Amino acid sequence: RIREITKKGIIRPYGNVNYLEDVATFVEQIAFDPLYFKERINPNGKEYNSIYRKKLDLLHKYEFITNEEYARVLSYSGVSKWTAKS
């Protein structure tokens, strides 16, 4: 089940059904467990999926998360602002 969630780039299964829930669970995960993204947004991570990074960047761009939260996730994950792939 975890592989399925990671493959789809969601935090919890409900995020796959409801985009508002997807946003909410991402924001919650960023606030309470930024290390969750380490293996998911770092291209060298075992669970890497570019969807996570794209969503993180969008949440930052549209101010769902602060600059500090964004920087914290990137720092904990060992990636920089400029490593997102399109």
Q: Residue with structure tokens 């990074």?
A: 53
Quick: pLDDT tens for 51-63. Answer: 999 999 999 999 9
The pTM score is 0.88
Is 80 exceeded by the pLDDT of residue 24? yes
pLDDT of residue 1: 59
Question: Considering the chain, what percentage of its residues have pLDDT values greater than 90?
Answer: 81
Within 10 angstroms of residue 21's Cβ, the number of other Cβ atoms is 16
The mean pLDDT of 3-29, rounded to a whole number, is 91
HSE-CB for 43 with a 13 A CA cutoff: 7
Structure tokens at 53: 């990074």
Query: Is 52:37 a contact under the CB 8 Å cutoff?
Result: yes
Q: How far is CA 56 from the centre of its chain?
A: 5
pLDDT of residue 5: 78
